[in-house]
Each structure stands twice: as structure tokens, then as C-alpha cells.
Amino acid sequence: MAAKLIDGRTVAKEYKEKLALRAQALVESGVTPHLAVVLVGENPASQVYVRNKENACIKAGIRSTVIRLEESCTQAALEETVEKLNADQSVHGILVQLPLPRHLDEARVLRLIDPDKDVDGFHAMNSGRLMNGQKGFVPCTPLGVMELLRAYDIPVEGRHAVVIGRSNIVGKPQAMLLLHANATVTVCHSRTQNLAEITRQADILVAAVGRAGFVTADMVKPGAAVIDVGINRVDGKIVGDVDFEAVSEVAGYLTPVPGGVGQMTIAMLLANTLDAAERCGR
């Protein structure tokens, strides 16, 4: 294997240790950082994600409250829950776990979250702030990718970064963060033509597609940093978007799945919650 493995587990662990110190300082100053998570229904993956977030909060010294609503919950009841959390001064961060049951309007709920408590960074106000280079909450996964690049001293400025995927929660904010870090950025998506020709030019290649084994070795420039955001379940196993074995022979750096980007996502959620609490405490 030629590629250096980017160890998200270790980076996230060290990062969370620093966050725990920040949380402790806040508590000592009289502010208990507090994340509220709203979970609707019984989606098994969502339950695992929420439990992981809860455990990470507890470990870091952040108070965590999970509000569980029935699968059959009405839009009005969900919105009332969010409004209450908006008004609750003890709550610094609010997160509505997605996906919501199909009868609920996700976009409407996300719009309702106070942008200054929107630690997932999904509110249009925060997308706008990111676009304009203003301070705001940035979605956790792309933020985590930037931390991984930093942790491994992978140069970004002046490099060609190619992002595959243009979702509001990964691809677009990822492209914006890379642009702010002075990369030359290309965003590819489902209608992109000659994809491999473009990805082969990437010094940094971020895959956020949601298809197992999508990025093959012939799509990667030798020595490139390949960041695999994908989470796909294949035969009961979690795999990324990158053909790990083959690409590891070509890339310079590569994130494993699991153990790469996913580890950073929760760390960034904690960081955003502490940012919110610190702003309140001032």
C-alpha cells in the first residue's frame, strides 16, 4: 500500500480532548454547554447516531438532552418542540436528527431552528454566512474534512480540489470551505461528463456520493489526497465511496471507512456546540 492512512479516530480523539478542556472552562465560568437533539420515530440508524452523539457529549462534559417524539408526531408538535428549544436559554445547540418520517416537512423544520443555535449548520442563514465568508455554523462533516487535511499538513492553498457531490450538507459546503482555504475547486455531480478526466486532475479528491466503490484507481492522480465521505452498507458492512484496496496503491493519502471522516463529524458537532455556548457566555 502506497497511501498514508489518515487516521480519523486518533485525530478526533485528540480534538475531543481539547474540546473537553473548553467545556470545563465554560462550566467553571458558570455556563454549562448544552446540546438538545430531537429524534422523531424509530429509524434504527438515527437511534445509533443519536446515541453516539449523546455519549460523545457526556464524555466531553457537554450536557445533552434528547427529545424523543413518536413516529406519528404532527408537524405542529415538532415545530412546537423546536420553538421551545429556541426559547430555552439553557440550550445552546439544537439538532433535529434526519431523516424525518415522510409525512413531516424537513425543510420547514430546519428553517425554524434559531440560526444561532443551528449547530448542524443547515439553516439558510448559516449557508449564506459560509458563502460570504462570515462567521456562522458550518456543517460538521465538511468541517471535519478540513480538520483532517490540517492534521496531516496536506497543503490546500493553490491546489486543485475536486469534490464529487453537491448536497447542501456535504458537497456544497465542502467546496466553499476548500475555496476559502484558497484551493482551486471543481464540483462534480450526477450530470458531470467525463468525470474521471476531472478527478484525475485533483490534488485533493473528496468523494461524497453515497455509492460503494464509486471512486476507482483510474480516477485518482498518483499521490493525491483522497477523502472518502461515503457511508454505504454492503452485506452488513460499512464501506465508503472509494475502492479502498485499489486506490490505496495510487493515492498519497487516504481516509478509511470506518475510521476516517465519520469520526470527525461528531467532534465538529461538539465544537459547534461549544462555539454557541461560548458566544452566549460572553
The residues annotated with a catalytic role in the active site are 53, 97, 120
Residue 202 CA: distances (Å) to CA of 131, 146, 157, 215, 267:
22, 16, 13, 13, 27
Which phi and psi (to 5°) does residue 202 adopt? -80, 130
Shortest distance, position 182 Cβ to ligand NAD, whole Å: 24
Alpha-carbon gap, residue 46 to 95, rounded angstroms: 12
18-36 b/e with 16+ CB inside 10 Å = b? ebeebbeebeeeebebbbb
Q: Is 27 or 217 the residue whose CB approaches ligand NAD more closely?
A: 217
Distance of closest approach, residue 261 Cβ to ligand NAD, in angstroms: 4
CB-neighbour burial class of residue 8 (10 A; exposed 0-12, middle 13-18, buried 19+): buried
Shortest distance (Å) from residue 191 CB to ligand NAD: 7
Q: Which is nearer to ligand NAD, 129 or 166 (CB)?
A: 166
Q: Please, which residue, 75 or 168, has the CB nearer to ligand NAD?
A: 168
User: Would you state the cell numbers that stand for residue 267, as one nine-digit string?
Assistant: 467532534
CB of 134 to ligand NAD, least distance (A): 23
Please report how close the Cβ of residue 192 comes to ligand NAD at its closest, in angstroms.
5
Length of the chain: 282
Q: Which is nearer to ligand NAD, 211 or 279 (CB)?
A: 211
Question: In this chain, which residue has its C-beta nearest to ligand NAD?
Answer: 167
Q: Which is nearer to ligand NAD, 269 or 276 (CB)?
A: 269
Site residues, ligand NAD (CB under 6 A): 141, 164-167, 169-171, 188-190, 192, 195, 208-210, 229-232, 261-262, 265
Q: Which residues contact 142 (CB under 8 A, 6 or more apart)?
A: 170, 173, 174, 177
Cell readout for 56 is 460523545
